[in-house]
Amino acid sequence: MTRVLIVGGGPAGMASAIALAQAGVDAEIVESSADWRPGGIGIALQSAPLRATKQLGLFDDLLRVGRPHHVIDMSAPDGTVFAELPQMNVNDPTDPPFLGMARESLHEVMVGAVARARVPVHLGVTVADLDEAADDVSVTLTNGLKDRFDYVVAADGANSAMRSLVLPDAPQPVFAGQVIWRAAASAPTGLERYTMMIGGPIRLGLVPLPDGGLYLWMLDSTLGPERPPRDELLEMFHQRLSRFGGHAPAVAAQLTDVSQVDFRALNWLIVPPPWHAGHVLLLGDAAHTTTPHVAYGAGLAIEDAVVLGELAATGIPFPQLAAQLAARRFDRARLVVETSLQLSRWEQEAGPPNPGAGRLIGETMASLAAPI
Ligand SMILES: Cc1cc2nc3c(=O)[nH]c(=O)nc-3n(C[C@H](O)[C@H](O)[C@H](O)COP(=O)(O)OP(=O)(O)OC[C@H]3O[C@@H](n4cnc5c(N)ncnc54)[C@H](O)[C@@H]3O)c2cc1C
């Protein structure tokens, strides 16, 4: 039986574990964090990634924990809606085109599926050393265990240590010129739709979640990548939030402690193929990191895993599997990364929103509707 080590227990690693188990591969996960939790607050899955979750048997569970959004309201800073963006559905007509959920919920659904697939997960453990042989790779783990695997899936995220180890000349993530503020809150009464508010160099997203929850994101083109000092963070957050009316003040009033506010710089990366070296294959953010402008990074990671599972089920040798995976995934990943970066760059320009943004998003979503 083929044995695979998956490095990283995020969406890419867990989806890979589920897909490989479906393909009859003996997989296990090492996750460096001892406290296995998702980073971030909320997440949205677009229609094509939801299609991929059907193949992994996750879709029904995600429906239970997610809130469907059929339209995004685009509004002025005062809350006046000036456009409605219908979301594209590539699945059954009754399926939601777009599902918003807490990161914790996506994590729990995937953890449950990994457990049902009987994939072992080793927490607080990572790869200490790799020793390549002709047909497999010997892996020494930081817990001292040493074992042989047919191949290793490096799903250890944007700052992948595995990528640096096996593809040291691969590009590294680059700052996209924007930062993002995020917070969880309760949805104010009357806020039912995903609302995106455009306030010059700041954009605010208010995403209603199930059970009255709310995911707030605020894209900010006014700051560099360095994290502001902790004692200034809350005030800077509120300064920016105060330019918005509508439901924003009711959300702002709930965010009174700095521990409620998450700040992070946005990076991008697209690794040109090959995505493998020796018997190690990059997947998910380790191979392609996107800014969140079309909400597709985890979607790409889940799709990568579905393709990995399909290729693994054919039983082809590793080098072909790895080459075919990158060949099938690269253009799609590049499209998401480059579209998101273009949207980010337009947002960083002074003046009114770029009129090309809607068309670019529409064309990109139409391309991504194609089968993976
Ligand atoms: C602000 C923001 C908003 C986003 N919104 C969306 C959205 O709405 N929709 C969407 O689809 N995507 C979204 N994304 C993208 C999405 O979060 C990522 O694409 C996705 O998390 C990538 O999954 P991954 O498993 O490849 O990497 P990660 O989620 O980074 O997971 C990597 C895992 O590997 C572990 N790890 C790291 N190093 C090691 C190591 N050396 N050894 C072992 N384990 C290791 C980490 O602890 C982690 O558990 C957003 C991203 C950002 C920054």
Against a cut of 0.85, is the pTM above it?
Answer: yes
Show the ligand 1 pocket: residues with CB < 6 angstroms.
7-13, 30-33, 40, 43-45, 126, 155-157, 161, 180, 284-285, 292, 295-299, 301
Q: How far is the CA of 301 from the centre of ligand 1 (A)?
A: 9
Class of domain 178-266: alpha beta
Length of the chain: 372
Strands (E) located in the chain? 3-7, 26-31, 42-46, 67-68, 71-75, 81-86, 98-102, 121-123, 127-132, 137-141, 146-149, 151-154, 174-186, 194-199, 202-208, 213-220, 262-270, 276-277, 280-282, 288-289
| Helix, strand or coil, per DSSP, at residue 11 | helix
What token pair was written down for 169?
A: 């000349």
Q: What percent of the chain has pLDDT over 90?
A: 98
Residues 203 and 222: their CA atoms lie apart, in Å, by: 11
Q: How far is the CA of 164 from the centre of ligand 1 (A)?
A: 17
Closest protein CA for atom 51 of ligand 1: 292
Q: Which atom of ligand 1 is nearest to the CA of 283?
A: 26
Share the mean pLDDT of the chain: 97
Strand 67-68 versus strand 71-75 pairing type:
unpaired
Q: How far is the CA of 83 from the centre of ligand 1 (A)?
A: 31
**If we measure between CA atoms, which residue out of 259, 265, 251 comes closest to residue 233?**
259
What are φ and ψ of residue 232, in 5° steps? -110, -10
Which pLDDT score is estimated for 39?
A: 87
**Which residue from 156, 165, 166, 178 has its CB within 8 A of the most atoms of ligand 1, so it is best to mutate?**
156
Q: Position 185: which residue type?
A: A
Closest protein CA for atom 34 of ligand 1: 8
Residues 307 and 20: their CA atoms lie apart, in Å, by: 10
Closest protein CA for atom 41 of ligand 1: 161
Q: How far is the CA of 106 from the centre of ligand 1 (A)?
A: 12
The string of pLDDT tens digits covering residues 283-326 is 999 999 999 999 999 999 999 999 999 999 999 999 999 999 99
The string of pLDDT tens digits covering residues 203-254 is 999 999 999 999 999 999 999 999 999 999 999 999 999 999 999 999 999 9
Residues 252 and 43: their CA atoms lie apart, in Å, by: 20
Residues 98 and 86: their CA atoms lie apart, in Å, by: 10
Q: Where are the domains of the chain?
A: 3-69+101-173+267-368, 178-266
The string of pLDDT tens digits covering residues 121-166 is 999 999 999 999 999 999 999 999 999 999 999 999 999 999 999 9
Q: Which atom of ligand 1 is nearest to the CA of 296?
A: 11
How is domain 3-69+101-173+267-368 classified at the CATH fold level? Answer: FAD/NAD(P)-binding domain (3.50.50)
The answer to whether 279 touches 136, Cβ cutoff 8 Å, is yes
**If we measure between CA atoms, which residue out of 217, 200, 293, 214 comes closest to residue 250?**
214
Which pLDDT score is estimated for 214?
A: 98
In the predicted structure, residue 352 carries a pLDDT above the cut 90: no
Closest protein CA for atom 21 of ligand 1: 298
**Which residue from 32, 175, 180 has its CB within 8 A of the most atoms of ligand 1, so it is best to mutate?**
32
